[in-house]
Amino acid sequence: MTGFSTDRRRVVAGLAASASLLAAPRALGQAKPKVVVVGGGFGGATCARALNRLGIEVTLVEPNATYTACPFSNLVIHGSRDLSAQTFTYDAIRRDGIAIAAEMASGVDADARIVRLASGATLPYDRLVLAPGIDIRFDALPGYDEAAVDVMPHAWKAGAQTALLRKQLESMKDGGVVVMSVPANPYRCPPGPYERASLIAHYLKTQKPKSKLLVLDAKDSFSKQRLFQNAWKELYPDHLEWVGLAGGGKTTEVSVKDMTVVTEFGRHKADVANIIPPQRAGRIAADMGAADRSGWCPIDPVTFEAKLRPNVHVIGDAAIAGAMPKSAFTANAHAKVCADAVATLLRGETPGEPKLINTCYSLVAPDYGISVAGVYHPAKGVLADVEGAGGTSPLEATKDVRALEAKYANAWFQIVTSEVFG
Amino acid sequence: MRNAFVLAALAAPLVFGSPALAQGAAPKPPPPGASSCSGCHGAAGSDLPTLSGRSADEIAGSMAAFRSGERPATLMNRIAKGFTDEETRAIAQWIAAQGRAK
Closest CA–CA distance from residue A181 to any residue of chain B (Å): 30
Q: Domain of A19?
A: 1-30
Is residue A419 within 8 angstroms of chain B, CB to CB? Answer: yes
Q: Is residue A349 part of a domain?
A: no
**Inter-chain CB proximity B8 and A28 less than 8 Å:** no
State the smallest CA–CA distance between residue A378 and chain B in angstroms. Answer: 11
User: How many percent of chain A have pLDDT more than 70?
Assistant: 93
Q: Is A58 on the interface with B (CB under 8 A)?
A: no
Q: Write down the pLDDT at residue A254.
A: 98
In B, minimum Cα distance to A349 occurs at B22
Q: How far is A295 from chain B (nearest CA, A)?
A: 27
Answer whether B9 touches A (CB < 8 Å): no
Q: Is B93 helix (H, G, I), strand (E, B) or coil?
A: helix
Residues of A with CB below 8 A from B40's CB?
359, 408, 411-412, 415-416
Work out the average pLDDT over A17-21: 37
pLDDT the model gives residue B25: 57
B43 Cβ contact partners less than 8 Å away, ≥ 6 residues apart: A415, A418, B50, B52, B100
Paired strand residues for A391? A373
Mean pLDDT of the A218-234 span = 98
Residues 59-98 of B with CB under 8 A from A: 74-75, 78-83, 87
Cα–Cα dist A200/A286, whole Å: 34
Structure confidence at residue B16 (pLDDT)? 36
In this complex, the residue of A28, A354, A390 whose CB is nearest that of residue B14 is A28
Does residue B14 lie within any of the structural domains?
Answer: no
User: Last residue of some domain: A244, A278, A312?
Assistant: A278
Give the pLDDT of residue A31. Answer: 67
Q: Are B40 and A377 within 8 A, CB to CB?
A: no
Q: Which of A371, A390, A411 sits opposite B82 (nearest CB)?
A: A390
> What pLDDT score was predicted for residue A220?
98
Tell which of B7, B66, B100 to mutate to test the A interface (max A CBs under 10 Å): B7
Predicted local distance difference test score (pLDDT) of residue A23: 37
Residue B16 lies in a domain: no
- Tell me the pLDDT band of B99, cut-offs 50, 70 and 90: confident
What's the pLDDT at A32? 83
The answer to whether the CB atoms of B47 and A351 lie below 8 A apart is no
Q: How many independent structural domains does chain B possess?
A: 1
Cα–Cα distances (Å) from A268 to A177, A215, A254, B35, in that order, read 9, 11, 9, 47
> What total number of domains does chain A contain?
2
Pick B78's closest partner by Cβ from A333, A373, A404.
A373
3-state secondary structure of A420: helix
**From the centroid of its chain, how far is CA B31?**
6
Q: Is residue A404 part of a domain?
A: no
Any domain includes A174? yes
Quick check: A384 contacting B, CB < 8 Å?
A: no
Percent of chain A with pLDDT over 90: 92
Would you call A415 an interface residue with chain B, using a CB distance cutoff of 8 Å?
yes
pLDDT in tens, A263-310: 989 999 999 999 999 999 999 999 999 999 999 999 999 999 999 999
A152 neighbors A269 (Cβ within 8 angstroms): no
* pLDDT tier at B101, thresholds 50, 70, 90: very low
What are A361-389's pLDDT values in tens digits? 999 999 999 999 999 999 999 999 999 99
Residue A91 pLDDT = 98
Give the CATH number, domain containing residue B65: 1.10.760.10
Interchain CB contact of A213 with B (< 8 Å): no
Out of A278, A294, A327, a domain closes at: A278
B52 in contact with chain A, both atoms CB, cutoff 8 A: no
Q: How many interchain CB pairs under 8 A, A with B?
A: 161
Mean pLDDT of all residues belonging to chain A? 93
Among A residues 190-209, those touching chain B with beta carbons less than 8 Å apart? none
Phi-psi category of A43—alpha, beta or left, where left has phi over 0 and alpha has psi -120 to 50? alpha
Residues of chain B in contact with residue A54, where contact means CB-CB under 8 angstroms, are 21, 26-27
For this complex, say whether ipTM is above 0.95. no
Identify the band that residue B28 occupies on the pLDDT scale cut at 50, 70 and 90: confident
Per the CB < 8 Å rule, is B82 touching A332?
Answer: no
Looking at the predicted structure, is the pLDDT value of residue A192 above 50? yes
Task: Give the structural domain span for B65.
Answer: 35-98
**Per-residue confidence (pLDDT) for residue A174, from 0 to 100:** 98
Q: Is the pLDDT of residue A21 over 60?
A: no
Is the confidence at residue A179, as pLDDT, over 80? Answer: yes
Assess if residue A224 is contained within a domain: yes
pLDDT in tens, A57-91: 999 999 999 999 999 999 999 999 999 999 999 99
Residues from chain A that touch B16, judged by Cβ atoms under 8 A, are 1
Per residue in A22-58, pLDDT (tens digit) is: 334 444 445 689 999 999 999 999 999 999 999 999 9
Higher pLDDT residue, A12 or B38? B38
Q: Tell me if A365 is assigned to some domain.
A: no
Per-residue pLDDT, B15: 36
B7 domain-assigned: no
**Confidence bin at B19 (pLDDT 50/70/90):** very low
For CA atoms A287, A293, A296, A301, the dihedral sign is negative
pLDDT, one tens digit per residue, over A343-355 is 999 999 999 999 9
pLDDT at residue B9 above 90? no
Q: How far is B56 from chain A (nearest CA, A)?
A: 19
CA distance A361 to A329: 10
Domain end position, chosen among A278, A304, A338: A278
Residue B82 domain flag: yes
Q: What is the pLDDT of residues A76-130, one digit of tens each?
A: 999 999 999 999 999 999 999 999 999 999 999 999 999 999 999 999 999 999 9
Hey, are the CB atoms on A355 and B21 less than 8 Å from each other?
no
Where helices occur in A172-288 by DSSP H, the ranges are 192-207, 225-235, 283-287
Domain contains A327: no
pLDDT band at A403 (very low <50, low <70, confident <90, very high): very high
pLDDT of residue A201: 98
Specify if A91 maps to a domain. no
- Pairwise CA distance, residues A46 & A339, whole Å: 9
Asked if residue A243 is part of any domain, the answer here is yes
